């Protein structure tokens, strides 16, 4: 395997690693089938409205080199959605800035996942139903209301 450069890593808060492993082991929300990039994308979507800087120890979750062009465009759109000036709009093409914001959104998103899982007291079916409702509501807020 090629040596990974520090600048090629996408990070998450280390405290979520064992939680995500538990979701994979128990195949909750289909996490068993997700690679790290896909679980990151889910967390970004959940936390897109409330990015939170990770102040704890960070864990390398996936590599930037694994990101496809479609992923780059989606992640850049997260940053573009926060732009209010022409100068800020020009910055959306900066993948590193987009990923930094996505890491902050994922921090919030993984916390939402963990809180909801804890609230369901480990009942995977209840957790899944609640998360599907939450994702439907998020979709409605983010997409349908903008049409």
CB 60 within 8 A of CB 11: yes
Does residue 23 sit within a domain? yes
Range of the domain at 130: 6-146
Does residue 120 sit within a domain? yes
Structure tokens that stand for 23 in this block: 């979701």
Provide the whole-model pTM: 0.80
**pLDDT tens sequence across 58-111:** 778 888 787 788 877 777 776 676 677 777 777 666 778 788 888 899 999 999
**pLDDT tens sequence across 23-64:** 999 888 888 888 888 888 889 888 888 888 877 777 788 887
Does residue 46 sit within a domain? yes
pLDDT of residue 5: 47
Domains of the chain: total:
1
Does residue 97 sit within a domain? yes
Does residue 1 sit within a domain? no
- Separation CA 57–CA 67 (nearest Å): 23
């Amino acid at each position: 395997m090629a040596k990974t450069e520090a600048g090629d890593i996408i990070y998450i808060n280390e405290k979520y690693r064992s939680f995500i492993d538990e979701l994979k082991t128990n195949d909750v929300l289909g996490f068993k089938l997700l690679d790290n990039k896909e679980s990151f994308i889910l967390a970004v979507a959940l936390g897109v409205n409330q990015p939170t800087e990770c102040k704890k120890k960070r864990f390398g979750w996936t590599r930037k080199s694994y990101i496809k062009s479609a992923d780059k465009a989606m992640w850049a759109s997260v940053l573009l959605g926060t732009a209010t000036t022409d100068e800020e709009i020009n910055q959306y093409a900066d993948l590193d800035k987009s990923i930094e914001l996505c890491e902050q959104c994922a921090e919030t998103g993984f916390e939402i996942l963990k809180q909801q899982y804890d609230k369901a007291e480990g009942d995977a079916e209840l957790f899944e139903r609640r998360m599907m409702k939450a994702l439907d509501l998020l979709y409605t807020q983010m997409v349908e209301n903008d049409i």
